A = this chain, B = another copy of it.
Amino acid sequence: MSQQDHTLDPSLASWVASANDASTDFPIQNLPYGRIRRKGSGEPWRIGVAIGDQVLDLRLALDAMPWSDTLRPAARELASGDLNAFMARPMADRVAMRAALSHALRAGSGHQRALAGCMVLQSDIEHDVPCRIGDYTDFYTGIHHATTVGKLFRPDSPLMPNYKWVPIGYHGRASSIGVSGQQFRRPKGQTKAADAAEPSFGPSKRLDYELELAVFVGRPNELGEPVDMARAEDHVFGLALFNDWSARDIQAWEYQPLGPFLAKNFASTVSPWIVTMEALAPFRRPFERPAGDPQPLPYLDSPANRSTGAIDVTLEVLLHTQAMRDAGLPPHRLSQSSFLDAYWTVAQLIAHHTVNGCNLQAGDLLGTGTLSGPTAAGAGSLLELTQGGKVPITLPNGQTRTFLEDGDTIILRGWCERAGARRIGFGECAGTVLAPR
């Protein structure tokens, strides 16, 4: 698509001046969707599109713009705040909407005057999760994360024998997913010290974050109808940032034999903007297995996946403690990594998830799992950064951390850059730990 898709032309500029700033996450080449309303207005939620430091409010734009008969039904869904209905549409509809928005927002557009009244400053809006999330699945595609964590428990064989064959995944809790800005109380639960005879109950002492991307499902598949690799990305709407908060001490005691449960389901945080697969097209990269690793089974393989299955997204984690905020200090970067280091692609996650006939629905969220890089500087969790809580990290203001403390805010950021393309970003995914009840 990228050759003929004028919405990706790096020379395109917008009549929204801030969108032309080289440092913005939201140039006209991005056009991500979120669910918004004016702060404190109590208005119905509607879908907005981020552009520069502003948002195009599609509820207002429904009447302000002369939509074609083809696009009007989709525009109505967006105006009503129902992103799921739009996500479920065939890719052609999504591409047409993107083209219409790109035309309307570009410099010299005849729609500028009509749309000027439909713009809201991002600082004046509040967000809900971008869509209704029916089911949430978390994968485990970060091989460096899996290896580092595995080493803590099994130094000789950190990776399970299935890791390089099966895109390991499990179901998570959809109800407790919140949008960036989420604040949650430190969870309580059962934990058991290695030398204790019995478990005890209390607030988690090993609270952690996990740096992930969220893959949002678009077009659904019917129960019993697997989606093959060739069509897998037709079912993907876009990506966002995702923090899979984890209570390591609760997890260690509860997770055998059926997996994590209360260690994860107290809160998960997603960023407000879904960056579409169309916007990510310039950042596709070849996907190759390291030498010596098994090739994917045929149901997880395709020529397109090998040539362009990977996506070059740079990711980083920042910590902002209460003391740092009180002293007026900026957040401190804990790590930087890349989605290129994932062991499985987005298409492989879809093909694997549905190969048994499982039905995915519009708005379902697939977490990638913790996206750590190959070195300690790319560790996507404190569990990795502190070697299981044994080696504290020291922050610029002299504070130390093994795990998160009350008042800590974790901020995830992500962006795509390459020569010949306009940089696009994901915005922020922030969440804050509150004291336990």
- A142: chain B residues at CB < 8 Å are none
Q: Are B297 and A201 in contact (CB under 8 A)?
A: yes
Q: Does A80 contact B (CB under 8 A)?
A: no
Q: Cβ of A388 < 8 Å from any Cβ of B?
A: no
Assess the A171–B265 pair: CB atoms within 8 A: yes
Cβ of A259 and Cβ of B170 under 8 Å apart?
yes
Q: Considering the complex, give the chain B residue whose CB is closest to the CB of A359.
A: B175
B261 pairs with A170, CB closer than 8 A: yes
Q: Tell yes or no: A392 within 8 A of B by CB.
A: no
Cβ–Cβ < 8 Å partners of A339 in chain B: none
Residue contact B184 to A357, C-beta cutoff 8 Å:
yes
Contact with B along A233-265 (1 / 0, CB 8 A): 000000000000001001001111111111001
Chain B residue with Cβ nearest A262: B356
Asked if B188 and A262 sit within 8 Å, CB to CB, the answer is no
Interface band, chain A: 35 or more
Tell me which of A8-16, A158-166, A278-286, A374-382 binds B.
A158-166
Q: Is the interface of A mostly helix, strand, loop or mixed?
A: loop
Residue pair B176, A223 in contact (C-beta under 8 Å): yes
Check A352–B201 contact: CB distance below 8 A: no
- Chain B: CB-nearest residue to A150: B257
Task: State whether B173 touches A190 (Cβ < 8 A).
Answer: no
Is A267's beta carbon under 8 Å from chain B? Answer: yes
Chain B contacts of A185 at CB under 8 A? 224, 357
Give chain A interface residues in 207-223, CB to chain B under 8 Å: 223
In the assembly, what is the distance between CA of A361 and CA of B187, in Å? 19
- Closest-by-CB residue of B relative to A360 is B175
Contact across chains for A355 and B265 when beta carbons are under 8 A apart: no
Q: Does A198 contact B (CB under 8 A)?
A: yes
Q: Is the CB of A258 within 8 A of B140?
A: yes
Would you call A168 an interface residue if the criterion is a C-beta within 8 Å of the partner chain's C-beta atoms? yes
Q: Mark A276-316, 1 if CB is under 8 A from B, else 0.
A: 00000000000000000010011100000000000000000
Number of copies: 2
The answer to whether residues A258 and B169 also contact, given A174-B134, A175-B358, A175-B361 and a CB cut-off of 8 A, is yes
Quick one: which of B160, B255, B266 contacts A356, CB cutoff 8 A?
B266
* CB within 8 Å for A253 and B162 given contacts A267-B223, A297-B201, A358-B262: yes
- Return chain B residues, CB-CB under 8 Å to A355: 188-189, 262
CB-CB < 8 A to A257: which residues of B?
160, 168, 255, 259
A199 within 8 A of partner (CB): yes
A189 touches B356 (CB 8 A): yes
Query: A189–B353 Cα gap in the complex (Å)?
Result: 10
Interface 0/1 of A114-143, CB less than 8 Å to B: 000000000000000000001101101000
Question: Contact: B254 with A175, CB < 8 Å?
Answer: no
Known contacts A170-B170, A184-B224: A198-B356 contact under CB 8 Å = no
Bound CA–CA A171/B361 (angstroms) = 17
Q: In the bound complex, do residue B250 and residue A356 qualify as a contact, i.e. CB atoms below 8 Å apart?
A: yes
Question: Which residues A353-390 have CB closer than 8 A to chain B?
Answer: 353, 355-361, 364
Docked pose: A437 CA to B357 CA in angstroms: 10
When the two chains form their complex, are residues A162 and B256 in contact, meaning their CB atoms are under 8 A apart?
yes
Beta-carbon contact of B162 and A299 below 8 Å:
no
The answer to whether B356 touches A265 (Cβ under 8 A) is yes
Is A52 in the interface zone, CB < 8 Å from B?
no
Q: Does A172 contact B (CB under 8 A)?
A: yes
Return the chain B residue nearest A357 by Cβ.
B266
Q: Which 9 pairs, one residue from A and one from B, show the smallest C-beta to C-beta distance?
A: A259-B259, A187-B356, A171-B171, A170-B258, A266-B356, A258-B259, A262-B356, A265-B358, A266-B357
Residue pairs across A and B with Cβ atoms less than 8 A apart, 17 shown, are A135-B173, A137-B261, A138-B258, A162-B253, A170-B171, A170-B259, A175-B364, A184-B224, A189-B356, A201-B298, A201-B299, A223-B267, A224-B437, A259-B260, A262-B352, A266-B356, A266-B358
A interface list, Cβ under 8 A from B = 134-135, 137-138, 140, 160, 162, 165-166, 168-176, 178, 184-185, 187-190, 192, 198-199, 201, 223-224, 226, 247, 250, 253-262, 265-267, 294, 297-299, 352-353, 355-361, 364, 437
